[in-house]
Amino acid sequence: MIRSLREIGLFRVPVPNFDKSAFREAFINALVHRGYARLGGIHVQMDDNGLSISNPGAFVEGVTLDNLLMTKPHPRHPLLADMSKRFG
């Protein structure tokens, strides 16, 4: 992870660089696939290990750890998924 330095007042603060389109995709994915029946927000965390984005909710019905990488995608909220596709 490449870091750049930003000057804030008298301080130089290291800021990690992330691909903006990858971050946007991950964040939109968290919005579309979150469980809105549960309270809680989407959390974005940057640390020395990288960037992680998490949201409340469990796997969609029919998806388990065993078939996560092999199952066809089916959004929890089809209307939100369709809107995100249309908006690019």
Coil, strand or helix at 64: coil
Coil, strand or helix at 52: strand
Tens-place pLDDT, residues 32-41 = 878 777 788 8
pTM exceeding the 0.85 threshold for the entire prediction: no
- H helices of 5-55, in order, are 20-33
What is the structure's pLDDT at 2? 53
What is the structure's pLDDT at 24? 87
Tens-place pLDDT, residues 43-83 = 888 777 778 888 877 788 888 889 988 988 777 888 888 88
Q: Domain residue spans in the chain?
A: 19-87
What is the structure's pLDDT at 41? 85
Confidence class for position 1, pLDDT limits 50, 70, 90: low
CB 13 within 8 A of CB 41: no
